[in-house]
C-alpha cells in the first residue's frame, strides 16, 4: 500500500485532502501538521521523513503570511525554500514522488495575458521570492518533481478571502475591495482532487503546472459573486490597490493559463463561480 504524506495538514489544502482521503482507501494517508513535519527545523524534518517513509509527498505546508514575510525573511526562506529542497532531496534518494504547491506570486503582475508555465518569473515581495527559490531548489534536488502554481486559494476550512467577505458582509452596511488586481480563485477542494487524480493517473510527467479555477476576475468582482450567492445586502465598492496599502506588494495581474495541466492529465477544471457555490451549500 502506497503511503501519502501531506504536509501542512491543517491548512486549507491539507484539510481538503483530509476530507477527500476516505474515498481513496487504497492509500495509507499520513496527515502531518507542523509537529509531525516541522518545516522550520531541517534536522527534525529529515528525521521525520525517515520515520514516516512516504511513497508520495504532497507538500502543502508553507509560510504564507505574505505581509509578515517582509519582516521575517529568514523564516519564510527556511520553510518555503530550504525545507522544500530537503524534501525533494529525500524523495529523489528514496525513489518517491513529490507534488509541491507554489504560487502566482512568483510573477510581477505586469502581464496582460494569462501566464503559462514558461512565463518569466520576477517576484515583487519576500513571500514570492521565497516560493520561487523553493521551486528552484525542488527541481535542482529532484527533477522528477511536479510543481503546481496556484492562486487566490479559498476553502470551507481555515482563513481566506471568502470567509472574510462572508463575515464582513453580515457585519457591515458597506465595504470596499480592490478592483485592479486580476486573477482567478482556486477552490482548494478542486485542487486537492486534481492532485489525487495525478497520483491515480497512469503517467507521471514532471515539471511546473498551473492550476486555478476558470474565469478572469478582480477581487472586487469576486466579492460581488460572494454577495450574490450569499444574498447579502451589503454595498460593495471597488477601490484601487493604492487606496489599500499593504507591507508587501501584490501582483496586479496573475491569471494562470491551465492548458498544460488540462491536456497532460485530462482534467476538467470548473469555472470559479460553480465552485464558489459549494461554499454556500
Does 237 map to a domain?
Answer: no
Q: Are 120 and 126 in contact (CB under 8 A)?
A: no
Q: Give the per-residue pLDDT at 281.
A: 85
| Residue position matching grid coordinates 517576484 | 123
Residue 174 lies in a domain: no
pLDDT along the chain (281 residues), means of 10: 96 98 98 95 98 98 97 98 98 98 97 96 98 98 98 96 97 97 98 98 96 98 98 97 94 97 97 97 85
Q: What is the pLDDT of residue 199?
A: 97
Residues 96, 141: contact at Cβ < 8 Å?
A: no
Residue 231 lies in a domain: no
Q: Where are the beta strands (DSSP E) in the chain?
A: 2-7, 27-32, 56-59, 97-103, 146-150, 153-154, 174-178, 182-183, 186-187, 207-211, 217-218, 235-239
Q: Are strands 182-183 and 217-218 parallel, antiparallel or unpaired?
A: antiparallel
Long-range CB contact pairs, 192-196, < 8 A, 24+: 192/13, 192/16, 192/17, 192/19, 192/20, 193/20, 194/148, 194/261, 194/265, 194/267, 194/269, 195/17, 195/58, 195/99, 195/148, 196/17, 196/20, 196/24
Residue pair 267/164 in contact by the 8 Å Cβ criterion: no
Q: Which three cell numbers stand for residue 38?
A: 516541522
Q: How far from 79 is each of 37, 69, 104, 181, 280, CA to CA, in Å?
A: 11, 11, 18, 27, 33
Q: Is 169 exposed, middle or buried (0-12, 13-18, 19+ CB in 10 A)?
A: buried
Tally of domains within the chain: 1
> 127, 154, 187, 211: which one is catalytic?
127
> Does a structural domain hold residue 71?
yes
pLDDT at 233: 96
**243 within domain boundaries:** no
Query: Edge-to-edge, what's the strand order for the sheet holding 2-7?
Result: 27-32, 2-7, 56-59, 97-103, 146-150, 207-211
Residue 217 CA to residue 128 CA, distance in Å, equals 21
Active site annotation includes 127: yes
Measure the CA angle with vertex 255, ends 252 and 258; round to 5°: 165
What is the domain-level CATH number for residue 266? Answer: 3.40.50.720
Domain extent for 198: 2-160+186-215+254-271
Residue 21 lies in a domain: yes
Map grid coordinates 515583487 to a residue.
124
What span, in angstroms and rounded, lies between the C-alpha atoms of 160 and 3? 30
CB-CB contact of 5 with 37 (8 Å): yes
Is 110 among the domain residues?
yes
Is 239 inside a domain boundary?
no
How many CB atoms are located within 10 Å of the residue 100 CB? 27
Amino acid at each position: 500500500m502506497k503511503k501519502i504524506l501531506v504536509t501542512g495538514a491543517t491548512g486549507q489544502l491539507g484539510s481538503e485532502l483530509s476530507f477527500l482521503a476516505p474515498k481513496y482507501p487504497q492509500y495509507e494517508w499520513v496527515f502531518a501538521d507542523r509537529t509531525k513535519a516541522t518545516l522550520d527545523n531541517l534536522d527534525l524534518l529529515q528525521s521525520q521523513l525517515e520515520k514516516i517513509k512516504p511513497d508520495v509527498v504532497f507538500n502543502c505546508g508553507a509560510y504564507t503570511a505574505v505581509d509578515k514575510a517582509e519582516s521575517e525573511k529568514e523564516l519564510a526562506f527556511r520553510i518555503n525554500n530550504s525545507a522544500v529542497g530537503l524534501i525533494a532531496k529525500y524523495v529523489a534518494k528514496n525513489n518517491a514522488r513529490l507534488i509541491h504547491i507554489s504560487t502566482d506570486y512568483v510573477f510581477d503582475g505586469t502581464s496582460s495575458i494569462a501566464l503559462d508555465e514558461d512565463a518569466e518569473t520576477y517576484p515583487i515581495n519576500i513571500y514570492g521570492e521565497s516560493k520561487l527559490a523553493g521551486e528552484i531548489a525542488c527541481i535542482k534536488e529532484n527533477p522528477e518533481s511536479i510543481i503546481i502554481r496556484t492562486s487566490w486559494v479559498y476553502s470551507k476550512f481555515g482563513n481566506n478571502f471568502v470567509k472574510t467577505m462572508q463575515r464582513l458582509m453580515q457585519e457591515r452596511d458597506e465595504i470596499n475591495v480592490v478592483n485592479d488586481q486580476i486573477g482567478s480563485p482556486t477552490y482548494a477542494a478542486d485542487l486537492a482532487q486534481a492532485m489525487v487524480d495525478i497520483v491515480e493517473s497512469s503517467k507521471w510527467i514532471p515539471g511546473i503546472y498551473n492550476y486555478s479555477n476558470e474565469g478572469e476576475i478582480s477581487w472586487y468582482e469576486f466579492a460581488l459573486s460572494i454577495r450574490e450567492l450569499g444574498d447579502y445586502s451589503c454595498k460593495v465598492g471597488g477601490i484601487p490597490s493604492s487606496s489599500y496599502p499593504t507591507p508587501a506588494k501584490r501582483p496586479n495581474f496573475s491569471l494562470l493559463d491551465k492548458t498544460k495541466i488540462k491536456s497532460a492529465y485530462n482534467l476538467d477544471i470548473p469555472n470559479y463561480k460553480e465552485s464558489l457555490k459549494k461554499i454556500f451549500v
